[in-house]
A = this chain, B = another copy of it.
Amino acid sequence: MSKDIKYTDAFDELKQIVADIEDGEISVDELSIKVKRASELIKLCKAKLTSTEEDVNQILKELEG
């Protein structure tokens, strides 16, 4: 998976996967693949959030400094 995927897209895909799983539209054959994807997406989103927050805090910290 590319790191270039956007948080928004990742988040949307993740939401779709959850919805698909919930709707039972994913076959057992696909399920583990999808869950794996979801897992990757979650990791990615978390990472993005963390890094963005750090960026923002850094910037704002500089401002107050």
Contact A32 B55 (CB under 8 A): yes
Partner of A35 from the list B8, B11, B43, B60 (CB cut-off 8 Å) is B60
List 13 contacting pairs A-B, 8 Å CB cutoff, sorted by A.
A7-B29, A8-B28, A8-B29, A28-B48, A28-B49, A28-B52, A31-B52, A32-B51, A32-B55, A35-B56, A38-B59, A39-B59, A39-B62
Partner of A59, one of B7, B36, B56, B62: B36
* Chain A residues within 8 Å of chain B by Cβ, number: 26
Task: Identify A60's interface contact among B11, B39, B51, CB under 8 A.
Answer: B39
Given A36-B55, A39-B62, 20 further pairs, Cβ under 8 A: A6-B29, A7-B27, A7-B29, A8-B27, A8-B29, A11-B28, A28-B48, A28-B52, A29-B52, A31-B52, A32-B51, A32-B55, A32-B56, A32-B59, A35-B55, A35-B56, A35-B60, A39-B60, A42-B63, A43-B63
